[in-house]
Amino acid sequence: MDFIRDYADWFYLIGAVLFILTLRGLSGPKTAIAGNRYGMIAMAIAVLTTFFVAENPVVWMIVGAMVLGAIIGIARARTVPMTQMPETVALMHSLVGLAAVLIAVAAIIHNNDLAKLDVGLLQANGVNFHEMSKVHLFELFVGCFVGAITFTASVFAYGKLAAKKWAKTISGTWVKPVQALIFIAMFAAGIHFFLTGNMTSFWAMTGLALVFGWVWIAPVGGGDMPVVVSLLNSFSGWAAAGIGFTLENNMLIVAGSLVGSSGAILSYIMCKAMNRSIINVLFGGAMGGTAVVVDAGDKAPRNHRSGSADDAGFLMSNADSVVIVPGYGMAQGRAQNAVKELANLLKEQGVTVRFAIHPVAGRMPGHMNVLLAEADVPYEDILEMDEINSDFPATDVVLVIGANDVVNPAAKDDPSSPIYGMPILEAHKARTIMVIKRSMATGYAGLDNDLFYNDKTMMIFGDAKKVVEDMTKAINGNGH
């Protein structure tokens, strides 16, 4: 395919433009489908172009790996439930990091093996060998340790989100000193490898980076996992960009840089929504780790008011405005379609229904938006926190479905709370609040929620999907 080789840079340029259009499309729900299509076309161009410009490729191995990967990817995409999407995303990030490590290892071993052979013999066989430059070594150094950190950190994030027993949060005064020692040792080994090319230092750097990735993320509590997933997305992009320099592949450099920068920007936006810095999230202790757990014997029991789905249906059908606040409980109960049906029924009765989304609701960025889009909820009905907060005081009913920390008034009222200062959905200002939960257990950040004990709040216990379906039946049964 001489034509593709001759115009490879042009094909890569087209792919890069399409990747930029992908990000532009994914910035809004109405253009997300087109953005995904641009991304698929760009990736197809990148893969095919790289395949045909490669020197002496082992075709069967490349095609076999592509087919196997496609089979696994399609099967996973078709079967993964939305409740497992966050951990699936984290697992995919880990594979990008692992690929970066393996490419760096292969490049260095290959270069070292060639260096042992006679240069004249290599040239006679058409192999152009040049000793690895300092710039090349630096690229491998960065790509390898960033990829290694991304791999183990993402594996831990997967385990944490999937509630695996081996993904235990670690805490204690020893954590930060150990993190610092591992990082310094890793960096020192990497610098020694960069200056001398010593393979022992390279293996030490890689091993320490793998350990550091795990120890770095393990102290982060569940409440901060959405930010961690976003940041690891950024890291996977930078790892890919670093390896792009190693492979001298412009497309990989561009695509990795786009993923890295967009992930970093998203992490910043989410930290801003939590009123915290990225340094505080990753090194200052986690929400779940810093919450003070009060023993039941040390604190007087608090009273809450509970009700039934029939009560909720009556209140909503007689309201003028309803705001629905979805949380992880909606994802866990797979209730998004039932919620859509409830919203449609209320609209038929003349009730204004809107959805309020907090930037860090769920277990990954945009989790609630994805669920609602899957249920075909109109985009114009879905409002972000800044758009909806001023409307809560005039709202008749707020229905909270499995959300905890993002509606916790302690973020505004309790200076001693670990989430104090975090912007929240101000559901507590509505005239009536209804909360669907399985129990009075705390949320992912491990904090009690004052909203549940508000005089205006009615708790409705049960599976989110079943409760919402019962609400819909109650509204129909009332004959409204």
Q: Supply the pLDDT for residue 304.
A: 87
Last-in-domain residue among 288, 322, 352:
288
221 and 303 part of one domain: no
pTM of the model: 0.75
**470 is known as an active-site residue:** no
Domain membership of residue 411 (yes or no) is: yes
Instruction: Report d(CA 397, CA 23) in Å as an integer.
Output: 36
Domain membership of residue 22 (yes or no) is: yes
Last-in-domain residue among 31, 54, 79:
79
438 neighbors 463 (Cβ within 8 angstroms)? yes
19 and 149 part of one domain: no
348 and 441 part of one domain: yes
Q: Supply the pLDDT for residue 443.
A: 64
In CATH, what number is assigned to the domain containing residue 446? Answer: 3.40.50.1220
The predicted-structure confidence for 24-56, as pLDDT tens digits, reads as follows: 888 777 788 899 999 999 999 998 888 888 777
Average per-residue pLDDT in the chain?
A: 84
143 and 204 part of one domain: yes
354 and 325 part of one domain: yes
Nearest to 210 by CA among 94, 324, 356: 94
255 and 328 part of one domain: no
Q: Return the SS3 of 247.
A: helix
User: How far is Cα of residue 142 from the mean position of the Cα atoms in its chain?
Assistant: 23
Domain membership of residue 293 (yes or no) is: no
Domain membership of residue 262 (yes or no) is: yes
249 and 117 part of one domain: yes
73 and 90 part of one domain: no
Q: Domains in the chain: how many in total?
A: 3
304 and 324 part of one domain: yes
59 and 9 part of one domain: yes
Last-in-domain residue among 79, 104, 127:
79
Beta bridge partners of 399: 324, 434
74 and 132 part of one domain: no
Candidate list 298, 310, 381, 405, residue with the active-site label: 405
Phi-psi region at 303: left, alpha or beta (left = phi > 0; alpha = psi -120 to 50)? beta
Domain membership of residue 309 (yes or no) is: yes
- ∠ Cα 399 372 75 (to 5°): 135
Helix residue spans in 318-463 (DSSP H) = 328-332, 336-348, 367-374, 385-388, 410-413
201 and 307 part of one domain: no
Low-confidence residues in the chain, pLDDT < 70:
1-2, 82, 113-132, 221-223, 284-301, 443-446, 478-480
Domain with 260, as residue range(s), is: 86-288
310 neighbors 468 (Cβ within 8 angstroms)? no
- ∠ Cα 383 158 221 (to 5°): 70
